[in-house]
Structure 1
């Protein structure tokens, strides 16, 4: 022990020396047009809070590099002639990894031969330029600042106005709607619930996210009255994206904590190519500590994997291959002494295996000078295999339930966004989803072990969606959005049309008022449609669950570090409610 104490100052000296050698880092990234996605050349990017400031100019592809930026938090300001200036505040610059930014600029409007500039902060505006109300950009780095956030974006948004959750799971309740009505999207594709131990305590939620902050990029979160692009959602939308890996330098990360072992790697494929790779793998600490845990926790483990490969080309646009997946296992072992039974789980033998996966290939390409075309092909799978036995009064295990559900989805989506001058932008697309299902559920209503079949169905159906959304910049202070979404479900022939309308008024540089209204719908969980009694289906003709959203949002930027947002919203057949939020 004395020797260790003598070596401790030496260890601190070595750490201080290493820290002194890595006091600066590189910030790199791209600057693009927010509407068309085209690169913005010759934009000025400056670390604004440094004296003298560190700056750079973007090249013809919108790329920039800021070298020798001191570690810490910095403000990055971006400006370019013809665009509204943007300032990204408190970007965390660490010594171990380069910072990669994806910055989007909005075109400035010209009125009475003058350029009218409205200051914009990325954190307060959604990435989707079609959204005028009900949305906000979600920074993954911001999630790490919230106490108890566990780097989980779902737990972060519970601090937003009108959003609530519980400590036990990350199910999101948006203005009273059940978590199952939330839509999870990844790279523009709807995916199954991406949470470990999902659908256990609440449909739509889980224990913790399977999406590591090492790979997630900035994303959007919508709380209602969202644009027509989002169709199969009733309460809110998590529109998430994986960031591109560092295409200039290899970087590796290893972490060990209460959430598990986390290993990540990113870097370029070669020095002469702008393509990059990024992956992250996590393995649960609980599984590693199984010998130290109680008997009823044996076998509880989880693991997940996320990756993204980016392949830019000179003339054919950019291709990207992405994926996310998880595997969970949990269970309980019943006690044999009835005197020690306190809860239901004390008398149950249960084995639960869950899995989820999604993989997709995306293609983005510029068309002409004012259009951008996107297409994607993805496959998703989710499954639950559960078997439960419950002890009777004589401590004899009897069957309680058997669930074997597997859902495969094959999704093709494409969209074209075109900017017609500086005042009108339109995005139109279609989405075709093939739903392959294999549902089997049995339950014993009484405690005699006699199982009754609730669902036993296998087959395939199709959900077809088409939508269009336009945003009109009427003046420097007024914007209006109009959209229409159509859906058709081939299982029972149900279809629906959902119009969306929104208006935003920038009353002053620090005040804005937005009003949005729209019809929304969502399919129920597939096993609902196949529930039967005595072999007779009960819900085969079930229609979409529908709601009408009416949202009014007042946003007041009190000062640089304080914002007040008031969002009253009304849904059909639901009492209006008002939520307040003050941000610091």
Structure 2
């Protein structure tokens, strides 16, 4: 820690001797969104600076003498709606920013429609958060990892233990989320993802390529199906059409190299490669597993002419998690007794073709995703004895997706219609020892091909003065897995959104909808020892009805307070026959979720209220505070009583802010607090059975007392300091991120652990018991990170 601080401050004191503050141009083109024609006499201003420009006859504008920083632009003109752009980084070269504007049909009535960074969406006027570059680049404690950044937002729980990125939104499960990259669906956004869920220790996306993120915690658009809790829609940057550049970043867990530029006069590119050194960090922290990963990402965008463009993108990762058998503490001994070795390869390739035909825009999206997951576990991690094998899983998932949609605008009406067709392949070869009421061994191979299809459409209306908006949407999905899922009418997903501006400052908005999601492939493809699909006639589409109502107060374009209430009612959730708990209460650990006998009988509900305060001062302050009070409950069927789910933390509080100081310094702090999660006591008798322990390598829970106990609340604080040097042709940045500066420790349930000593060796094999011991568990440590960024 002292060495990191010394290095950080030595660099910040030495490099000003070399620093010469440069200035750059911000250039761009403003066009009509429908006609794609350039617009003349448009005023374009840099928000936070007293600088601007006016477009010429070809729609071009130039703003001179702009110092480096993160900026938004605002474009205004008579007859057009004002536009506020996403955030852009002005660093080592001039910026070229495209802006699209829509005609203002209210101009003749003398109504002024102003732009704001607090944007409203007609289809999702509630439960939508827009994450900009300032938050992505400088959020304390997040290390530019999107999964950790969104954990500061209302309704999103964070894991105070375990170094994981599980996305738990409004009391929902980690497998209820969907992710999109420039319109292309990607299966997961984390390395070492839990198959059947979504979490992992570190994100797979390079933040250097992201422009902004639309984060939906409800009111999902109809073109983004198969989600129950959240949708993360990533918008990537476009490559620079004037100059090629190179950026290198040394972060908390990896080193990355990214390039940004153009190929010829019509094609731009983004590309990045990252290599982790996370295994060294985990070894230093004496953690029982050592993950290593490599990932790559690219985007090519070709503008054939003003009406046709093609985007091709790709994302891939290679993961290898070894066990750190040298970590010999009692805590690590327990984790090493059940945690498998994990190897994964994943990639997504996609293409988006877009045609602009005046008031109509057609989009065609084609993609292919692949996941290869291999888990291996030997008892006591001794691979020299074949009989020690507890788990050998070899599984692949492949998805080929096709989606076509048309967006049309008619004055103050917008209509979106589309269709999707997907083909999924799932294969699994598994050898696994399990124990229910007796020791069993599953040894099976499965191959599953599923054809899925869907229709969707939305019609949206905005009043002439933009004070009232309404959106009505409908989606339907089906597949050929079983006769119970073949009919589109059984999975109809209607939704409606309304929003009204009560006064200049007050807005009230609401949404209600029904949403469906297919169970994970691990559940659909599970076979019993008879070689038949054990869940084929038991599973249905999972569904949830969601209602949200929110009210917000805005002061200008810098301050907003919003309060939102939500209610989620779950049905047809898969229930674990062996454990008697819903599958939705699993998925926040490494390995696989869903490969067991299930029945779609469980129900659930989650309800609560969220408060969000945001204060934005351009070039100065980005402050956000959120508080969520909620309950998350499940029951096994309609006759059972509701009990707390695994995600029932009751409350979440976050306060996060970044302040920009003179001379390119910035300082940020985050304070987080979360209520204690419920937990289930162990079944000591079952856990001590030699046959039971040897099958799983860890203790068994007493599900008759499911979630009857609760952990204490947890709070921590993070600090981040940034210093950036802009030299003549390059940028050099340093940051130090101190996670958990309070050194907070979370007390967890004491672990029940086998000593390896059999107490009754003379008994029959199925009646022998190990002598057990308890290990106190608490976690939490200061985690310092020094990051270095170089751009040329």
TM-score normalized by the length of structure 2: 0.65
> What does residue 354 of structure 2 align with?
364
Q: Which residue of 1 aligns with 2:197?
A: 203
Query: Match of 2:208, SS?
Result: coil
Deviations 1:281-334 (CA, angstroms, capped at 9, x unpaired): 110023578998969656x31111111011111266011111111111102154
Aligned residues of 1:108 and 1:115 also touching (Cα < 8 A):
no
Greater shift, 556-565 or 302-311, is seen at 556-565
Counterparts in 2 of 1:474 and 1:326: CA distance versus 1, 3 Å: same
CA positional deviation for 1:114: 1.7
Change (3 A) 1:439 1:254: same
Match of 1:523 among 513, 518, 527: 518
Pairing of 1:150-549 with structure 2 (within 5 A): 150-167=143-160, 168-199=163-194, 203-270=197-264, 273-286=265-278, 297=289, 300-314=291-305, 317-332=308-323, 334=325, 343-347=333-337, 350-367=340-357, 369-391=358-380, 398-420=388-410, 422-446=411-435, 452-453=441-442, 456-476=445-465, 477-493=467-483, 494=485, 495=488, 496-535=491-530, 536-541=532-537, 542-549=539-546
Q: Is the 8 A contact 1:426 1:469 kept in 2?
A: yes
- Following superposition, the deviation at residue 17 of structure 1 comes to 6.4
In structure 2, distance between residues paired with 1:163 and 1:288: 30
- Partners of 2:237 and 2:458 lie apart in 1 by 26
For 1:439 and 1:58, locate their aligned partners in 2 and report how far apart those are by CA, in whole Å: 61
Question: Secondary structure of 1:518's partner?
Answer: strand
Contact conserved, 2:361 with 2:408, CA < 8 A, in 1? yes
Distance 1:72 1:326 in 2: 31
**1:454 and 1:580 mapped to 2: Cα distance?**
50
Partners of 2:542 and 2:85 in 1: CA distance: 39
Write the deviation string for residues 442-462 of structure 1: whole angstroms up to 9, x where unpaired. Answer: 321259x98722763113111
The CA distance in 1 between the partners of 2:189 and 2:497, in whole Å, is 30
- Extract unaligned runs of 5+ from structure 1: 1-9
Counterparts of 1:37 and 1:440, CA distance in 2: 54
Determine helix, strand or coil for the equivalent of 2:421.
strand
Secondary structure of the equivalent of 1:133?
coil
- Structure 1 window deviating more from structure 2 (216-225 vs 288-297): it is 288-297
- How far did 1:138 drift? 2.1
Secondary structure class of the residue paired with 2:211: coil
Say if 2:53 is the partner of 1:55.
yes
Does the 8 A contact of 2:130 with 2:214 survive in 1?
Answer: yes
Cα 1:171/1:303, change in 2 over 3 Å: same
Structure 1 Cα separation of the partners of residues 140 and 93 of structure 2: 24
> In 2 relative to 1, CA 303–469 (structure 1 residues): closer, same or farther, beyond 3 Å?
same
Residue 134 of structure 2 aligns to a residue whose secondary structure is helix
Deviation at 1:191, TM superposition (A): 1.4
Partner of residue 139, structure 2: 146
Distance 1:295-1:583 versus aligned 2 partners, 3 A rule: closer
Q: Deviations over 1:225-274 (max 9, x none)?
A: 2232222111111111222111111111112232211101111213xx13
- Residue by residue over 1:7-26, the C-alpha shift from the partner in whole angstroms, topping out at 9 and shown as x without a partner, is xxx99999446532x52123
Q: Distance in 2 between matches of 1:291 and 1:229?
A: 44
User: Cα offset for 1:104?
Assistant: 4.7
* CA distance in structure 1 between the partners assigned to 2:339 and 2:476 by the alignment: 46
Q: Quote the Cα distance in structure 2 between the aligned partners of 1:463 and 1:490.
A: 7
- 3-state SS of 2:175 partner: helix
Distance in structure 1 (CA, Å) of the matches to 2:289 and 2:35: 49
How big is the shift at 1:49?
Answer: 3.8
Question: Does the CA contact (< 8 Å) of 1:434 and 1:462 recur in 2?
Answer: yes
For residue 210 of structure 1, report the CA deviation from its aligned partner: 1.0
CA distance in structure 2 between the aligned counterparts of 1:224 and 1:454, rounded to whole angstroms: 40
Structure 1 contact 441–455 (Cα < 8 Å) conserved: yes
Alpha-carbon distance in structure 2 between the residues aligned to 1:405 and 1:211: 23
- Counterparts of 2:151 and 2:101, CA distance in 1: 28
Change (3 A) 1:223 1:18: same
Tell me the equivalent position of 2:552.
555
In the alignment, the residues of structure 2 paired with residue 569 and residue 455 of structure 1 have an alpha-carbon distance, to the nearest angstrom, of: 43
Q: Is this contact kept in 1: 2:171–2:606, CA < 8 A?
A: no
Report if the CA contact (8 A) 1:400-1:451 is conserved. no
Higher relative contact order (Cα pairs below 8 Å, separated by 6+ residues): 2
TM-score (norm 1): 0.87
**What SS is found at the alignment partner of 1:262?**
strand
How is 1:96-115 mapped onto 2 (pairs within 5 angstroms)?
96-99=92-95, 101=97, 103-110=99-106, 113-115=108-110
* Aligned partners of 1:109 and 1:116 also within 8 Å: no
Deviation at 1:498, TM superposition (A): 0.8
Task: Note the alpha carbon deviations across 1:511-536, whole angstroms, 9 max, x for none.
Answer: 21111111101111111012233324
**Cα gap change, 1:518 to 1:385, in 2 (>3 Å):** same
Q: Determine which of 605, 616, 630 is the counterpart of 1:574.
A: 605
Number of corresponding residues: 559
Deviation at residue 65 of structure 1 after TM alignment? 4.2
Query: Partner residue of 1:26?
Result: 25
